[in-house]
């Protein structure tokens, strides 16, 4: 399991919405100080502080900072078919910044599970043996990911989700709150599993599963 090297990187949060609030609380619980926040709306409003943290400006404030000194926390949440979180991550990774993985102290993660850059694991989550979690993925509050799951990049595992063993979730998929996915299932890229669904069949890329075994293909 990859750890957060807060003794090396000075941390800056991107975004000041609800997801950022949860991450700020996580960082406080872990004892990791945050040196600033970048948010275009806060900057436009002339805000100087956010939850006691200096507002550095919009994202342009990062241009003059050294990626070897500062680490970024992606405070933008992930909703179905929205790409803002992914775009921010990819933009600033290309500019040399890292997004250290974050784990709430009340989460439980097997020592042989791998967390990629930018993964965020919230309070009460459980990740069992030999899981692999892709970059910039959220494992949200009280989600359960059982053994040998492979979760791709830019995925959101919403609060209360249960993933049984040996599941593959491709990049940019969204698993809605309280959904259950039985063992061995594959969820395709950009697919959506709706809140509260029990998923017993593979879900094709770009499709959405709502209710009991109901799938609809979304159009752009």
pLDDT tens readout for residues 20-57: 999 999 999 999 999 999 999 999 999 999 999 999 99
User: Do the first three CATH levels of 10-100 and 103-203 match, i.e. the same topology?
Assistant: no
Q: Could you read off the pLDDT of 59-113 as tens digits, one per residue?
A: 999 999 999 999 999 999 998 888 999 999 999 999 999 999 999 999 999 999 9
Give the confidence band of 7 by pLDDT, cuts at 50, 70, 90: low
Q: With beta carbons less than 8 A apart as the criterion, state whether 202 and 220 touch.
A: no
pLDDT on residue 213: 42
Q: Residue 142: is its pLDDT beyond 50? A: yes
State the pairing for strand pair 144-145/126-127: parallel
Over range 164-191, report the average pLDDT: 97
Highest mean pLDDT among 82-86, 170-174, 210-214: 170-174
Q: Tell which CATH classification among 3.60.20.10, 3.40.1350.10, 2.160.10.10, 3.40.630.10 matches the domain 103-203.
A: 2.160.10.10
The pLDDT score that the predictor gives to residue 8 is 66
The pLDDT assigned to 81 comes to 83
pLDDT band (50, 70, 90) for residue 129: very high
* pLDDT given for residue 82 in this prediction: 87
CATH-assigned architecture of domain 10-100: 3-Layer(aba) Sandwich (3.40)
What CA–CA distance (Å, rounded) separates 75 from 92?
13
* pLDDT for the residue 212: 54
- Alpha carbon separation from 185 to 150, 168, 205, 207 (Å, rounded): 11, 6, 13, 15
**Domain map of the chain by residue range?**
10-100, 103-203
**Do residues 149 and 131 lie in contact, with contact meaning Cβ atoms separated by under 8 Å?**
yes
User: What percentage of residues in the chain have a pLDDT greater than 70?
Assistant: 92
pLDDT of 198 above 50: yes
Predicted TM-score of the model (pTM) = 0.91
Cα three-residue angle 26-30-175, rounded to 5 degrees: 35
Consecutive H or E run containing 18:
helix 18-30
Residues of the chain above pLDDT 90, percent: 89
State mean pLDDT over 113-135.
98
């Amino acid at each position: 399991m990859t750890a957060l090297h807060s003794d090396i990187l000075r941390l800056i949060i991107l975004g000041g919405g609800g997801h950022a609030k949860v991450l700020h609380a996580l960082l406080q619980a872990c004892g990791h100080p945050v040196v600033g926040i970048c948010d275009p709306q806060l900057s436009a409003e002339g805000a100087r502080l956010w939850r006691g943290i200096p507002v550095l400006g919009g994202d342009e404030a990062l241009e003059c900072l050294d990626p070897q000194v500062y680490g970024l926390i992606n405070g933008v949440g992930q909703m179905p078919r929205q790409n803002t979180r992914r775009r921010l991550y990819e933009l600033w990774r290309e500019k040399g910044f890292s997004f250290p993985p974050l784990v709430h102290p009340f989460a439980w993660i097997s020592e042989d599970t791998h967390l990629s850059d930018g993964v965020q694991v919230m309070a009460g989550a459980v990740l069992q043996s030999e899981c692999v979690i892709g970059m910039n993925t959220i494992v949200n509050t009280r989600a359960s990911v059982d053994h040998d799951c492979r979760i791709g990049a830019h995925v959101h595992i919403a609060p209360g989700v249960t993933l049984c063993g040996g599941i593959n979730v491709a990049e940019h998929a969204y698993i809605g709150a309280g959904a259950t996915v039985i063992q061995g299932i594959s969820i395709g890229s950009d697919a959506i599993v709706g809140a509260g669904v029990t998923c017993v069949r593979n879900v094709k890329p770009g499709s959405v599963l709502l209710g009991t075994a109901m799938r609809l293909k979304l159009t752009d």
